[in-house]
Amino acid sequence: MNRVCVFAGSNAGARPEYAAAARALATECAARGLGIVYGGGSVGLMGVLADAALAAGTEVIGVIPAPLATKELAHASLTELRVVESMHERKATMNALADGFVALPGGLGTFEETLEVLTWAQLGIHGKPVGVLNVKGYYDGLLRWLSHGVREGFVRREHLALLLFADTPSELLDRFAVWTPPPGPRPWLKPTQT
């Protein structure tokens, strides 16, 4: 593993622990020699993450769509900033650059990005670990929601296991280090016999 893609809020959130977790994740990535790929913003948890990673001396690559570059105030001091045309291109570029995905607390964009890469893992589009840093129980509701989907027959239990939950950056990155993708081919993609 060389780089981790981090999804994070463009706001700082209501608790100081969220920013502390972003700094801790950046520091832990740097200590392990991992670069960071993220959304390219200089504000909110994104900015906290990037600033802490740069201060710790690790590579930080930002990927931001041109229309958001001014709205989100693209970070001017990154190792590399890639300005792309669309959100779709942003996500594809981040996926190509990263060897795993971490979600810090965030809003709708963070939720959408995390669930999309989780879906890609389910479909076998990538074999990379996907995890959430569950700061102060922020993602407890997501776990309950996905577990409800399992109980109701819409989410397979093995697909729920594709999303790793951890309370600290070191715990999550330790789990990434030993994670292996499920064996393929995916049985749910085989055509049914009639």
Could you tell me if residue 187 is inside a domain? no
Query: Per the domain annotation, does 180 fall within a domain?
Result: no
* Distance of alpha carbon 121 from alpha carbon 126, whole angstroms: 5
Distance CA 100, CA 82 (A): 19
Domain assignment present for residue 192? The answer is: no
The mean pLDDT of the chain is 92
Q: Which two tokens stand for residue 110?
A: 């963070």
The sign of the dihedral angle between the CA atoms of 25, 133, 101, 66 is negative
Give a yes or no: residue 182 inside a domain.
no
Tally of residues, the chain: 194
- Whether 113 is in a domain gets the answer yes
pLDDT (tens digit, 9 = 90+) per residue, 25-49? 999 999 999 999 999 999 999 999 9
pTM: predicted TM-score of the whole model, two decimal places: 0.92
Residues 171-186 have pLDDT tens digits of 999 999 999 987 755 5
Tell whether 193 is covered by a domain: no
pLDDT profile of the chain (194 residues), mean per 10? 96 97 98 98 96 98 91 87 95 97 97 96 93 97 96 93 96 96 61 45
Q: Is 194 part of any domain?
A: no
> By the 8 A CB rule, do 7 and 49 touch?
no
Q: Tell whether 53 is covered by a domain.
A: yes
How many structural domains comprise the chain?
1
CATH of the domain at 48: 3.40.50.450
Q: How far is CA 193 from the centre of its chain?
A: 37
**What is the domain range of residue 70?**
3-174
Q: For CA atoms 62, 114, 129, 174, give the dihedral sign.
A: positive
